[in-house]
Structure 1
Amino acid sequence: MYQQLFQPGGMGANLWELNLVSRLLNDPAIGARSSGLLAVIETPEAMEAYLLRSQGQDDLKRRARRCIDATEEALRLAGERGWLRP
């Protein structure tokens, strides 16, 4: 999953390389729900720890889906702010 979402040069990789998730988390305009969602992918270590805390296959799938949703939300929010390079 990590390789699919955050392959080098990809849009997901830019989220970490440019610290965009952290910047978004410091923006009070994104709201509590988005903040909670983005916190699971703030850093590679945070995402890994979140996935490793899973309690079985179903929980792992749910957590992986949450990481995908968080990545999509972060890309959307960063794009709206013009932070992503083309």
Structure 2
Amino acid sequence: MPFGFDAGLLHADSLLVPDVVGRLREEFAAVLDTPAGRIGGLAALAEMLQAVARGWYPDLAPRLVARAEALTGVRQPVPLHSEVST
């Protein structure tokens, strides 16, 4: 896995708990705030979004999409019939 994947996965998995996300951002800033760390975080998000398409993480899905948009600056395409509401 790329550098930052584990921290990115932990961060993404915690998006429903703002206090935890804030703490993770502080603790892992040296990893998550680097170009390589952002790539690892995006890889983690991509893996989780693939799981969303298979029915996993329904409550977390919109926040995963929002985080991907925040990291890339690009609005993520969402199919018309999707688990993610836009």
TM band (smaller chain): 0.3 to 0.5
Higher helix proportion:
1
TM-score by length of structure 2 reads 0.35
